[in-house]
Amino acid sequence: MALAREGADIVLLDRCADIKTVGYPLSSDADLAESVALVEAEDRRCLARQADVRDPEQIQAVVDEAVSEFGRIDILLANAGISAGLPIQIATAQQWDDVVGTNLSGVFHSMRAVAPVMIKQRYGRIVATSSMMGRFATPSMAPYVASKWGVIGLVKCVAQDLAAFGITVNAVAPGNIDTPMINNDWLPKQIRPDLDRPTLADVLPFLGALHVQPDPVLPASDVSAAIVFLVGPGATHMTGAVLDVSAGASARFTA
């Protein structure tokens, strides 16, 4: 929506189905349709397709259709992500494959699909979504943490691969954001297993402790603003960078 308001036509893709190893509901057909309607309400064109970022052929098909429809691809936001985790001694291989396949391999497949288009154009802006968990770790979240650390490494490498072609590649590292990844029944149970029916309110002190500013959950618009900056003229000479939107969690990092 933030990009549509800035004048961009939009291509959306989502799996639109749950994943068994993820404990909360993922986006649905209705969510995708709502997003299309919101973009079109801004008087922008919107192409929406169901696709799984774990499958490079599906991603390539969407990219090919986008180029056919719009003639070019100026911006890639590699934002597909899921959260799941258990202590390593009971975590499953399937959980690892689902999380890393979506959060890290999905970013690679997306970047790989748009790179030739942007190279031909001699222009492109790529932003991948990492996390504050891509900067530090927390127990019972090995697949998620590893995937988000990997996104940062991938961004820094691809930024160097594509710098000569007028393409920038950066990451945003959000903190706790007010989305269904936070607002669900599964997360409070993971954090407060001592309670019979924990709610988000019961885990806000834990979430707040991850931040420095006294805001345990942040609006998604904060992340959108960072993305709009990274793809705009003010960030022409920023590439391979990570922009933290984590209520001061980055103040605890050593680098």
Full 3-state SS string of the chain: CHHHHCCCCEEEEECCCCCCCCCCCCCCHHHHHHHHHHHHHCCCCEEEEECCCCCHHHHHHHHHHHHHHHCCCCEEEECCCCCCCCCCCCCCHHHHHHHHHHHHHHHHHHHHHHHHHHHHHCCEEEEEECCHHHCCCCCCCHHHHHHHHHHHHHHHHHHHHHHHHCEEEEEEEECCECCCCCCCCHHHHHHCCCCCCCCHHHHHHHHHHHCCCCCCCECHHHHHHHHHHHCCHHHCCCCCCEEEECCCHHHHCCC
| Number of residues that make up the chain | 255
With the C-alpha atoms ordered 132, 222, 8, 81, is the resulting torsion angle positive or negative? positive
Q: What pLDDT is recorded for position 254?
A: 78
Query: How many other β-carbons are positioned within 10 Å of the β-carbon of residue 180?
Result: 12
Give the tens place of pLDDT for each residue, 207-238: 999 999 999 999 999 999 999 999 999 999 99
pLDDT at 94 > cutoff 70:
yes
pLDDT at 240 > cutoff 90:
yes
CA atoms of 188 and 175, how far apart (whole Å):
17
Amino acid at 19: I
Residues involved in catalysis: 144
Average pLDDT over residues 84-107: 95
Burial class (CB in 10 A: 0-12, 13-18, 19+), 122: exposed
Terminus-to-terminus CA distance in the chain, angstroms? Answer: 32
CA atoms of 253 and 173, how far apart (whole Å):
13
Q: What pLDDT is recorded for position 85?
A: 80
Q: What pLDDT is recorded for position 255?
A: 66
In order of their start, the domains of the chain are 2-249 (3.40.50.720)
CA atoms of 142 and 85, how far apart (whole Å):
6
Give the tens place of pLDDT for each residue, 130-177: 999 999 998 999 999 999 999 999 999 999 999 999 999 999 999 999
Which residue bears the tokens 């995708």?
32
Cross-strand pairs, 125: 75, 168
pLDDT at 18 > cutoff 80:
yes
Q: What percent of the chain has pLDDT over 90?
A: 96
